[in-house]
Amino acid sequence: MLPAAAAATAWAFLVAGSPRWLFLAAVPLCAIWLALSARAAPPGLAARLRPRWGDLGLALSIALLLYAGARAFLWAGCGGVSDVLCAPLASTHARFHARGAGPALALGLLVAPAEELFWRGVVQARLASRLGRWGAVAAATGIAVAAALVTGEPFLALATAPTFAAWGALAAWRGSLVPSIASHAAWTVLVASVAPPG
């Protein structure tokens, strides 16, 4: 599990640094991270990656719900009720340069699957044997939020808490990583590349 965790740490610090070449670096890093996480996952990963009827519809519904929630929350914190989130929102948009087909493809096809395979397929799956499936959802979400805070990303930590909890619950409920991967990919592409809130 240590090599997969090292790749997760490298990704977190790369995101925190957000160089202009972030998405070029994301391609090889996330491909390696996927392979390392697949090796670190508990037995039965192939079965948890097999799609089932209804997975895609459920995934897209959750992604749209999370996207609507993000838009409402950001509206309330930037012009709706308060302006407290305006500066972090503008800073995030300026730093990541995520508009366009290249970033969208990297986010949807590599970044989101790599994050899901690690956080749900490795961390949450391993914690479930000790904490039960719902305790594992809470613990894995808490660790991901703490990782964002440690790398100096409080705004991303704010986004991580509800989304990772939702995707963790989805994976635990369905017993599959397919809906959480698809939902994470759709939400990320929507929020970062296609229709960023703000």
Tokens of 1: 């599990």
- Residues 12, 14, 20, 24: is their CA dihedral positive or negative? negative
- Residues 127, 130, 131, 132: is their CA dihedral positive or negative? positive
Tokens of 152: 């100096």
Alpha-carbon distances, residue 54 vs 57, 59, 66, 181 (angstroms)? 5, 8, 18, 14
| pLDDT in the model for residue 176 | 96
Nearest CA-CA partner of 44 in 122, 100, 123, 143 = 122
DSSP letter, residue 81: S
Pair 82, 191: CB distance under 8 Å: no
| pLDDT in the model for residue 77 | 84
| pLDDT in the model for residue 198 | 64
Nearest CA-CA partner of 121 in 186, 64, 183, 36 = 36
Give me the amino acid identity at 146.
A
- Give the whole-angstrom CA distance, residue 9 versus residue 112: 15
The total of structural domains in the chain comes to: 1
| pLDDT in the model for residue 84 | 85
Nearest CA-CA partner of 168 in 190, 148, 141 = 141
- pTM score over 0.85: yes
Give residue 182's domain range.
2-194
Helix axes 86-96, 154-174, angle to 10 degrees: 80
User: What residues in the chain have per-residue pLDDT under 50?
Assistant: none
- Give the whole-angstrom CA distance, residue 17 versus residue 96: 10
